[in-house]
Amino acid sequence: MTPPATEPGAPDPLLDNPMLRVLRERHPEVDIVVLPQPVPAAEPDVAPLGREQRDADANAIERLVDDLVARLSREPAWTGAQRFGHWRTNGWGQVSYGTAAEVGGLADGANIALLRAAGHALEGHGWDAEPVAGDRPRISASRPGGVTASLTVRPASLVITCRGPFVRPVDDEDSR
């Protein structure tokens, strides 16, 4: 049986790639298979928001963490928290607000007790929280609307991170 006809072109597509060409020349006995490249991911469809709405969303995320910190401040292991928040931008120019609180200076084992209390507090405030498998005790939580949180223990601290969903920033004049 005769093999099907092939389209004219380079006799060996590997010769178009400098690295693979050298490999082919040095090792002609090796079969090289080049797989098609994945299609680049399309830009996710996210909501366009003006500055006022983005600021309101950032304040709402800060209040969520404030509520959790206020609840944890009643725990015996509480030592106070350092807070910091920031906007981050992804590869498509979309922005998301994140804030974190670190409760440091905890006694040995107090970080685990505080993590448990934080998990109960999250569920009490309407979060869907669950432990994360792994070698370090962690909790992952989410709320309707795309807000997520993660709680992680460190040797003498507990770190609470809360992030909002990515949005497409627009000028306030454009959003009217």
| pTM (predicted TM-score) | 0.70
Determine the pLDDT at residue 50: 92
Whether 12 maps to a domain, the answer reads: no
The answer to whether residue 174 scores a pLDDT higher than 50 is: no
Name the domain count of the chain.
1
Whether 32 maps to a domain, the answer reads: no
Determine the pLDDT at residue 97: 97
We report the CATH number of the domain holding residue 67 as 3.40.1000
Determine the pLDDT at residue 175: 43
Whether 110 maps to a domain, the answer reads: yes
Residue-averaged pLDDT of the chain: 85
Whether 3 maps to a domain, the answer reads: no
Rounded average pLDDT over 62-83: 89
Domain that holds residue 107: 48-169
Determine the pLDDT at residue 176: 43
Whether 40 maps to a domain, the answer reads: no
Rounded average pLDDT over 123-137: 91
For every residue of the chain, DSSP letters joined together read -PPPP--SS-S-GGGGSHHHHHHHHH-TTS----PPPPPPPPPP---EE-HHHHHHHHHHHHHHHHHHHHHHTTSTT---EEEEEEEEE-TTS-EEEEEEEEE-SPPTTHHHHHHHHHHHHHHHTT-EEEEE-SSS-EEEEE-TTS-EEEEEEETTEEEEEEEPPPBEE--TTTT-
Whether 79 maps to a domain, the answer reads: yes
Determine the pLDDT at residue 46: 82
pLDDT digits (tens, 9 = 90+) for 83-126: 999 999 988 889 999 999 999 888 888 999 999 999 999 998 89
Rounded average pLDDT over 27-36: 82
